[in-house]
Chain A
Amino acid sequence: MTRYLVGKLAESLLAIWGVVTIVFFVSRVLGDPAVLLLPVGAGQQDLDALRASLGLDRPILEQYLISVLAMVRGDFGISFQHQRPAMDVVLERMPVTATLAGTALVFGTLIGAVAGAIAALKRGTISEFIVMVAALLGQATPVFWLGIMLILVFSVDLGWFPTGGSGTVAHLVLPGLTLSVFVSASIARLLRSSLLDIMREDYVRTARAKGLLPRTVFFWHIARNALIPVITMIGIIAGELLGGSVVIETVFAWPGVGRIIMQAIQAQDFPVIQAGVALVAAIFIVVNLLVDLLYGVLDPRIRRR
């Protein structure tokens, strides 16, 4: 188990390094931030001076080495726009994004799990049909359009919730609901098909044949195994949501990580882009490491590796 973990950790560090490298070179293609930062009509001298002070006049490989070494120390540079450490700019937005992601994950997973279990256990009934139609619709709906429709009904027509912004629970309802629909649809479908697959396994038949209570068979033999692909999916969704869903944050004017990175891309604020993407990638990788650990808890075969 320890060797397995160390291996995973090494892989993770490699992946973060890869992400940072890609982002470094891609963002250098974006353009010259010095031109954007100075007022229109600034002279060549001012441009050169600013480039030199930002370190943008050095060879690209030197810049790359300097930033990677700095990043290892946790230093992502100073944001061009905000004139503050880039990582701080991104981290400040994290609680807002995490609130939304957490809400959507908790509600989406609960609704999805219950719906998926009902669909699998009540196979061939009207309940299964309703759950599956709802899940199919939920998966086919573009989240940003669903958000706009919810604003149309609940903010514009009924006036129950604000159209955008953050700060209170009322602000959280519509974006949280929007993302929950997306999460629960995916989870309901996956859990149903996963449950149906496991129910056909020989060991489930054996468990039933030796007279175990249906409840014991369901929770101990079926659900535990059916949960493995579902947990993978939750991990992936959690990683994506914690990275800030850019479109939803745009629709609801939600001041999260996704929007700050999007604004940084538009403003060519390299340090913030790098800090943001590195953070998002690190979160994604940590979440997936936790998921790997959970497999071990659920499936003893993996634990012994």
Chain B
Amino acid sequence: MKAFFLALLKSRAGLFGFLLVSVFVLAAALAPYLGLPVPTRSNLLARMVAPTWTGLFSPGAHPFGTDELGRDILSRIVHGSRITLAIAAAAVILGGIVGTLLGIVAGYYRGMVDRVLMRIVDIQLALPLMLLALLVVAALGPSTRNLVIVLALTSWLRYARIIRGQVLALREREFILSAHAIGAGTWRIMLKHLLPNVMTPALVIATLELARIIIMDAALSFLGLGVQPPNPSWGRMLADGRVYISTAWWIVTFPGIAILLTVLSVNLLGDWLRDHFDPKLRTMR
């Protein structure tokens, strides 16, 4: 752990990403205690107030302005990050578990199981992710739970392919062969011997997937298929604010910057993790 942080300190980009991610996670976790206005309370007397930077700490200040219903944009962004990050994290965990386990199974059993699984991956690859997501959300109905399922569905195959490749190589190694020799069962080998050895690549993929999923979540919300109003979500804020683009630039500008900075910091952290742990993954995506 100590060595990990020492290496992190040496990389400016990695450290920057790590710190920024920490700030966002903290802000999301502490959102209700930051003294921000209620994100869903509208105030028709303060509709589309331009950002003001004087008297930042007075109660009526709106550093990022207000939207078409007079809701404070900064507060909506911070509260929106709670939902966005929670959904993205849940989708990454779900997709990561399913993909990693299927990758281990395919790589370990090889043969028919492997062929069928990889064909399924090929079929899904031929369907653009956004189209698949649109279809499934339309079929299941837009809700937070379904959003997590859809995002995980677009994600599992990246783990499955890479982990499978690693397991194909690992299963010929001495420690796996000796585990066989002393009579370890299939599940024991997969979970106790193979899984720990693919955790690092899985973690690296998960970080990079997190960034992609945050953008995709925003895109789905933008199309009205994500988190349902009045809950604040970044994509939804962009979609609603787009109508007022000629009179109130701030409504669409700040949520976008929030997405950009979040994705940027997660990407920086992910790139660093990959280069630190597993540079070979670079060209495998």
Contacts and interface: CB of A to CB of B under 8 A. Distances in A.
Contacts of A149: 252-253, 256
Q: Is the interface of A mostly helix, strand, loop or mixed?
A: helix
Interface string A110-143: 0000000000000000000000000011011110
A165 B120 CA distance: 37
Contact of A136 (B135, B218, B264): B264
B256 A142 contact: yes
A76 interface: no
Contacts of A190: 283
B267 A136 contact: yes
Contact of A19 (B126, B222, B223, B255): B126
Interface in B165-206: none
Nearest to A246: B130
A152 B245 contact: yes
B282 interface: yes
B107 to A, nearest CB: 20
A104 interface: no
Interface in B92-130: 119-120, 122-123, 125-130
B260 A141 contact: yes
A295 interface: no
Contacts of B90: none
Q: Interface residue tally of chain B, by bracket? A: 35 or more
B264 A145 contact: no
A294 interface: no
A27 B135 contact: yes
Interface in B56-95: none
Nearest to A232: B283
A77 B156 CA distance: 33
B131 A18 contact: no
B252 A140 contact: no
B128 A280 contact: yes
A46 interface: no
Given A190-B283, A240-B128, A140 B122 contact: no
A199 B191 CA distance: 39
Interface stretch (A32-40, A207-215, A216-224, A260-268): A260-268
A145 B131 contact: no
Contacts of A246: 130-131, 134, 223
Interface of B: 119-120, 122-123, 125-131, 134-136, 138-140, 211, 215, 218-219, 222-223, 238, 242, 245-246, 249, 252-253, 255-256, 259-261, 263-264, 267-268, 282-283
